[in-house]
Amino acid sequence: MRFGINSFLFASPFTNASTKLFPQFVKWGFDTVEIPVEDPSHIDPAHVKAALDKAGLACGSICACMGPGRDFRGTAAEQKTAMDYCKALIDQAVVLGCPRLIGPVYSVVGKADAVEPAAQKKEWALVVKNLKQLAAYAKKRGVTICVEPLNRFETDFLNTCDQGLKLLKAVGSPALKLHLDTFHMNIEEKNQAASIIKAGKHLGHFHACGSDRGTPGNDHIDWKPIVKALKKIGYKGDVVIESFTTDVKVIARAAAIWRKMEPTRNEIAVKGLKFLKKAFK
């Protein structure tokens, strides 16, 4: 098991210049970095890979930023835009030596509304069709896609572990797994540990986030059963801190961060990692 940090805590967008963050991540004790690629043109993956190697850091995951126009349940144009974007990220993952593409790889974030059952069925079929194509593309390139259920305020499509497992079954690809996040689960799941156990071998990625998007451990989440559940299912993937602060304005607005959660963002990284290493022993 490796511990990682999502670069959104320090930069948006992530560019070639953002690789200057890597030595500090290593100094703090992180094994991996999770890179949200807002637009494939923002980075030269070969340049980023060289910086990773120099710092002694691995890119554990590329985070898909499903912004406006990228929607596998949207119009034909939006579906194509989403497909082209996600395929480009998979290609970049190969160059980076990154094993997985993670996040809400199904619909634009923020699309949350009451949808009639007939429309839900149609949207579901569209996402399944598109993910079958994308998963086949990823499988050929040795990359795993990990789909992340989000809370009800960020999507109406996929909110729970059960829904995620249903989607995996419908797509039926070994290149598609589940990505769970304690922040979203804190809102949507009855029992986080039980959901992790239910995910079992299908869990491909994990975000350890504070209940308020702040420092894991400095929150009200009961972490002991979560750690126990991850160990019980034999989870060997990355455990990544994905927190946001008001320092990065674009992400703060997107994630509805209107106040300072912690004294500094460095503290989130340092104290969060210290807590997780102690919790996992």
The residue ranges of every structural domain in the chain are: 2-280
Active site residue 38: no
Active site residue 242: yes
- 217-236 pLDDT, tens digit per residue, is 999 999 999 999 999 999 99
**Cα 205 to Cα 61: distance, rounded to the nearest angstrom:** 9
**Cα 129 to Cα 131: distance, rounded to the nearest angstrom:** 6
Low-confidence ranges of the chain (pLDDT < 70): none
Cβ atoms of 98 and 59 closer than 8 Å: yes
- Select which of 148, 154, 189, 262 is catalytic: 148
What tokens does 127 get?
């996402």
Which fold does the domain 2-280 belong to in CATH? TIM Barrel (3.20.20)
**Residue 258: its pLDDT value, please?**
75
Strand partners, 180: 206
Q: Report the interhelical angle of 76-96 vs 117-140 (nearest 10°).
A: 30
**Cα 93 to Cα 59: distance, rounded to the nearest angstrom:** 9
- Select which of 38, 123, 154, 242 is catalytic: 242
**Residue 266: its pLDDT value, please?**
94
**Cα 73 to Cα 90: distance, rounded to the nearest angstrom:** 20
**Residue 257: its pLDDT value, please?**
76
At 209, the amino acid letter reads C
Q: Please state the pTM of the whole predicted model.
A: 0.96
What tokens does 48 get?
């980023």
At 153, the amino acid letter reads F
